[in-house]
Amino acid sequence: MTRHPRAGFTLIEMVLAIIILGGALTVLYRSIIVSARMVTLSKQREEVAYVFTLGELEHPLRDIEDIEEDAPVDPDASLLDGYTYERTVDEREDPPEDVEDDGLYVVRTIVSWGDGSEREEIVRYLRQTN
């Protein structure tokens, strides 16, 4: 009587193979999800930069006579669907009598999207020269 070698896998070998395969698939799935999020964020950041550029072209700060009056821009949603461009100028306090007025203004440019809770802001300082 001759014995034939056993063909196939044991139950333990099959369970271990399934566990290893499941772990590898889980890692792969998570990396795909993270990559998809990164692509979405990258696209969104690119669109925000594009809206900033469109807003600056539409509402330039060059050749402004009065910063407090001419620089602010009411929320403008016409530049790109789903995004709103806005620019504000922080009011300055009058300096004390013994301090010279520096003519410096804080200009905030804001792009918001979604329900308005998501936003990017650029803060600049402009000097009013008389």
* pLDDT tens digits along 70-128: 889 999 999 999 999 999 998 777 777 777 777 788 899 999 998 888 999 999 988 87
Distance (Å, rounded) from C-alpha 64 to C-alpha 14?
A: 75
What one-letter code names the amino acid at 35?
A: S
Is 1 a domain residue? Answer: no
Quick one: pLDDT at residue 9? 79
Comparison of pLDDT for 100 and 17, the residue scoring more: 17
Quick one: pLDDT at residue 65? 81
Q: Are 48 and 82 in contact (CB under 8 A)?
A: no
3-state SS assignment for residue 120:
strand
Is 5 a domain residue? Answer: no
Quick one: pLDDT at residue 99? 73
* Residue 15: pLDDT over 90: yes
Quick one: pLDDT at residue 2? 62
The arithmetic mean of pLDDT across residues 19-46, rounded, is 96
Residue 102 belongs to what domain range? Answer: 11-127
| Total domains in the fold of the chain | 1
Is 3 a domain residue? Answer: no
Quick one: pLDDT at residue 130? 60
Is 80 a domain residue? Answer: yes
Is 2 a domain residue? Answer: no
Is 6 a domain residue? Answer: no
